[in-house]
Copies of this chain bind each other. A is one copy, B any other.
Amino acid sequence: MNKMLAIAVGKRILKVRKSKKLSQDRLAILAKIDRSYIGRIERGEVNITLEILYKLSETLGCDPKELLP
């Protein structure tokens, strides 16, 4: 797994989430993604798919490209 990529993407997701004052629980519910998976994504522990990237960006109200390093 490309650990650096996963960590960089995770950090951006966490940053945007916090800027929107959303908790991980709230993001998980809104994006219909498992709460623990959100945590693993933000810690850079998983190599997410484009579908997950788009679900998150749509929920966060940002361009998916903003979440890419």
Q: Does A22 sit within 8 A of B, measured CB to CB?
A: no
Chain A contacts with B in 42-69, Cβ cutoff 8 A: 47-51, 53-54, 64-65, 68
Each complex incorporates copies of this chain amounting to: 2
* A interface residues, tally (CB under 8 Å): 15
CB distance from A17 to the nearest CB of B (A): 17
Stretch from A1-9, A23-31, A32-40 forming part of the interface with B: A1-9
Query: A9 to chain B: which residues have CB within 8 Å?
Result: 50
A6, A47, A50, A54: which has the most chain B beta carbons within 10 Å? A50
Considering the complex of A and B, which 9 residue pairs feature the smallest CB-CB distances, nearest first?
A65-B65, A47-B51, A2-B51, A47-B49, A49-B49, A65-B68, A48-B50, A5-B54, A64-B68
